[in-house]
Chains A and B, each alone.
Chain A
Amino acid sequence: MTIDYIDKAAQWFCTIIAVLMVCLLLSLFVFIAKESLPIWLTEGVITIIAGSSWAPLTTPPRIGILTMFLSTLWASCGAMAIAVPLGICCAVFLSEFAPLWASFAIRTTLRVLTGIPSVVYGFLGASVVIPWYEKIVGLSSGESLFCASLVLSIMVVPYIVAGTYTALQAIPDEYRETGYSLGVSPVHVTCRILLPIARRNMVSSISLAFGRAAGETMAVLMLAGNTLTLPFSWFSKGEPLSALIALEIGSADVGSPHYQGIFAAGLLLLLLTSVISFAINYTNIRGRQP
């Protein structure tokens, strides 16, 4: 009889902890929304998001985070534009064409790449990539959203490769065998048959990668240039939302418009990453349930 009680107790314990933890995570949203609420109300949502002028210490303070929002989009979408093709091609190689030892070696390599912290990527990017970029293109100042995208893409490519590889491996061999026995070449089988089947799982790993790229702080802090102009091209300098928060939170007076503006930027970043992530997970899990 005692075992039953322990079982019940364990069940309650686990349930309560799970609920508490989820509440803690949700309170993150609530906290950031709450701290930024005053500025959303005084300045208005449109003025803040579409405003290109960030001068929170003047009177009246001008809180416009369009520059930062666009910088985040350029940096992360740019990173995805590089990483997605590269990642999918690499995963296809590892899954379908590479000899077993090479596949294992490269997969281990990629796992190791995920273990390198972002500050090291930022450091190497700033000390190696930017001088090369300056030399090759002949610019006086190489910090740009493009360089940030380059380094970000290397950071997120392992996630895409992992997700695509797993998805491809999960497809039963019958598909491949049928294709080969009909005389279809391996490349054709992969591109036309396997990849479309794997699409759903690929999409979830791509969304994870996008979330990482958009939220990345240290790498873009050292690479994007931190200017306040609107970034009209991939090659201009900018200041992504995460860099803005990291740089200015230390010196903002608690409760001032500056502080609330930073939390507003945080809320925007939060919505950007979590809405996309949530939407993808929802459609994924929804699709899996019969």
Chain B
Amino acid sequence: MKTRHYQESLWYFTFCASGILLAGVLIAILGLLLFRGSNELTWEFLTTGPKGLFLGMEGGIYPAIMGTIALLVIATSAATLPALATAVYLTEYSTSSRFSWVIDIIIRSMVGLPSILIGLFGYAFFVLYLDFGISLISGALTLAIMVFPTLVILMRDALCSVNADYRLAGLLLGVSRWYILRRVVLPQAAPSLFGAVLLAMGHAAGATAPIMVTAAVIAARAPSRLLEPVMALPYHLYILFSQYVSLEKAYATALILVVLLLTFNVLSVALRLLLPGKEGFKL
């Protein structure tokens, strides 16, 4: 009996320790970024371009910030409507269950696709075949393909979570599915749908591998044209660090990137929690 007791205490301790460990890791990460990166966060850093004998040693990251924003705005705009249509198809309009099952499983399998492969496809298709070159549009469309499966799944979950009674009531009253969708389901699911879009924006903002081969350069101005290459925060961080340009600026860039993504995440969670009756731990 005693050994059983010790065994259980050990398990109990393991469970607690793992939870605390993970929490500690995150606090350590954020703390480190804040500690080493906040010195460099001046207004100049956020609003001027890179300068210095080795570009990036001094100055700021303004073009990279604008580049990232441009990329993710275009990418999510391109991906949202198709994703919404696909999610609507999967929840409301799928008649043949086998066909929609196939589509569903294909999209689920694509969620975890390595981003470098999407970058490879984007490079071969947008940059070379369609001859867009290394440009904002190539990068944004590649990112759109990357976030599309995740968006579909999140939107589908949002639509599914609307109370089925509403649909039944609507059908009983003889109203078409489109009407129910437009008047009842979409407004109810809107915060969650929007939360999904924000989450997708977050993914797109942080992705480096796809834009490394399709859109990013080390020196560019703030984006103003679709066919121009751009600077981007994650790529700039990679260059600052791997080419040993400036460790402090790398920390500051990382801090800004993380803060940007956290804002998207927090907003997305806040929106989803507003939906009535929603509980649980959804990523």
Q: Could you list which residues of chain A lie within 8 angstroms of chain B, going by C-beta atoms? A: 3-4, 6-7, 10-11, 13-15, 17-22, 24-26, 28, 31-32, 35, 86-87, 89-90, 92-94, 96-98, 102, 105-107, 109-120, 122-124, 126-128, 154, 157-159, 161-162, 165-166, 169, 185, 187-188, 191, 207-208, 211-212, 214-218, 222, 242, 245-246, 249-250, 254, 262-263, 266, 269-270, 273-274, 277-278, 281-282, 285
Q: Are B209 and A217 in contact (CB under 8 A)?
A: yes
Q: Which of B108-161 contact A (CB under 8 A)?
A: 108-121, 123-125, 128, 145, 148-149, 152
Q: Are B114 and A216 in contact (CB under 8 A)?
A: yes
Q: Are A154 and B25 in contact (CB under 8 A)?
A: yes
Given contacts A6-B176, A28-B118, A114-B283, contact A18 B112 (CB under 8 A): no
Whether B52 is near chain A, meaning CB under 8 Å from some CB there, is no
- For the complex with contacts A106-B23, A123-B237, A211-B112, 18 further pairs of A-B residues with Cβ separation under 8 Å are A7-B176, A13-B85, A19-B103, A25-B148, A28-B113, A28-B118, A32-B121, A87-B18, A89-B18, A110-B26, A112-B26, A113-B22, A115-B258, A117-B205, A117-B234, A188-B8, A208-B111, A245-B116
- Report whether over half of chain A's contact residues are helix, strand or loop; otherwise say mixed: helix
Q: B interface, how many residues as a size bin?
A: 35 or more
- Determine how close the nearest CB of chain B comes to the CB of A25; give it in whole angstroms: 5
CA distance A144 to B236 in the complex (A): 24
CA distance A187 to B12 in the complex (A): 7
Q: Are B179 and A185 in contact (CB under 8 A)?
A: no
What 8 A-B pairs are tightest by C-beta distance, nearest first? A215-B114, A117-B206, A211-B112, A93-B15, A17-B85, A7-B176, A14-B89, A7-B178
Q: Which residues of A contact B215 (CB under 8 A)?
A: none
CA distance A147 to B110 in the complex (A): 27
Q: Are A89 and B15 in contact (CB under 8 A)?
A: yes
Q: Are A25 and B110 in contact (CB under 8 A)?
A: yes
CA distance A124 to B8 in the complex (A): 36
Whether B227 is near chain A, meaning CB under 8 Å from some CB there, is no
Given contacts A128-B32, A281-B105, contact A115 B261 (CB under 8 A): yes
Given contacts A120-B258, A215-B117, contact A22 B237 (CB under 8 A): no
Q: Encode contact with A along B154-170: 1 for CB under 8 Å, 0 otherwise.
A: 00000000000000000
CA distance A266 to B210 in the complex (A): 13
Q: Which residue in A93, A113, A214, A222 is a CB contact (below 8 Å) of B16?
A: A93
Q: Are A158 and B258 in contact (CB under 8 A)?
A: no
Whether B88 is near chain A, meaning CB under 8 Å from some CB there, is yes
Q: Which residues of A contact B177 (CB under 8 A)?
A: 7, 10-11
CA distance A216 to B27 in the complex (A): 23
